[in-house]
Amino acid sequence: MATRGEHLLKADRGFATGAGLVGRLAAPAFARVLDQLDRRLEAGGIHATLPDGSQRRLGFHAPGPEPVVKLASWMALVRLATSGSVGWYKAWERGEWSSPDPVPLFDLFMRNAASLGGTARAKGPFRLINWAAHQWRDNAPGRARRNIAAHYDLGNDFYRAWLDPSMTYSSAMFDGDKDLEAAQRRKVDRLLDRLDIHPGARLLEIGCGWGGLAIAAARRGAEVTGLTLSSEQKDWADRAVADAGMAERVNFRLEDYRAVRGEFGAIASVEMVEAVGERWWPAYLDAVAANLKPGGRAALQFILIRPELFDRYAASADFIQAYIFPGGMLIHEPRFRALAEARGLGWTDRSSGFGLDYAKTLRAWRERYDAAVAEGRLDGFSPAFHRLWRYYLMYCEGGFRGGGIDVAQVTLVKR
């Protein structure tokens, strides 16, 4: 199956022509880039092997991650400088840099994001190209379903191979245990506890995934309406609620959140708002406010980026937006909260961030993914696709470990 990420890789084939010549001519300039990196790394450091075989330590001014990186070609730094994290991924895919464990490197980049400035974001014309491509994938009503399909309609068999049996694709909450399925149940239970679910309560779930939360709410007695734009997810969720004996209490719809009209005592939405995009935050919160009864509660789980990093992040498109989640955007919490409160939605009981739980979740998914590949349960996808997804899972894990991104739960109460 040819995927969007693989098409992007094929479109890039001509970029490396003359890479060796570029590297030889520009080696002094690259040395200056490394000098700058050495000064800007405030926490942790890099054990680097350079293309000429020499070794260099970069950073180490304060404790932090200590990744090991081998630069096979100076083109890796060219790509990083011109295309940010998008170019850094392309360089990895081409073997221009490698590491026995890239997660500490991504942790290091995120931990030092403020001091590194725009290192991981594209510059010059490439920034504009990436930004324009991201804008073209905006989640307008006519395009949102295509964006969702690009990620979620890879097939239920694909996700079943490495998610836990509940098919939960969001951060778990570990509480000293190592069991992924138990940690996912804990996350769902804590979210539902925010909503005063009781027999006969009407719950709207915006972004229902494969139905795990809806089934848990129905078991508490709720009447659930779940929204998704993925036909694959809806097919799975319909079967799952039937198998659980909850079909009479749950109704899944292929419907955009902007189109739903109803009156619900509770709304749940788990890591869906990141797929909306900043332009559509007001519309998302309008939908929550319009469909929630006065005094009703909405429980959200959301992924945020540190506010001081947001504007630089939003000015281009990163690896995740280019290859994995078209149209996506992490949350600037103060701005999002202000939009909610302007719509009469009180921002209450915000949990502490549990980003390290997300890092553990991502590590568990990667281990399960690797096992599925080794056992031949994902043979329908190319080696390049598998490398892309392993990189994605490592990239995200490092981001959460570095603290620049986080995940939290909050309750919105309609005044």
Report the residue count for the chain. Answer: 415
- C-beta of residue 92 within 8 angstroms of C-beta of residue 98: yes
Task: Read off the amino acid at residue 21.
Answer: L
- For the question of residue 208 being annotated catalytic, the response is no
What the block records as the tokens of 107 is: 């942790």
Task: Read off the amino acid at residue 148.
Answer: I
Task: Read off the amino acid at residue 341.
Answer: E
What the block records as the tokens of 117 is: 């400035």
Burial of residue 220, with CB atoms counted within 10 A of its CB: 0-12 exposed, 13-18 middle, 19 or more buried:
middle
Task: Read off the amino acid at residue 313.
Answer: Y
Angle, CA 222 vertex, CA 220 and CA 223 arms, to 5°: 150
Identified catalytic residue from 75, 246, 345, 396: 396
| Dihedral angle computed from the Cα positions of residues 88, 391, 407 and 184, in that order, rounded to the nearest 10 degrees | 180
| Dihedral angle computed from the Cα positions of residues 189, 194, 196 and 199, in that order, rounded to the nearest 10 degrees | -30
What the block records as the tokens of 156 is: 């239920």
- Residue positions annotated with a catalytic role: 396
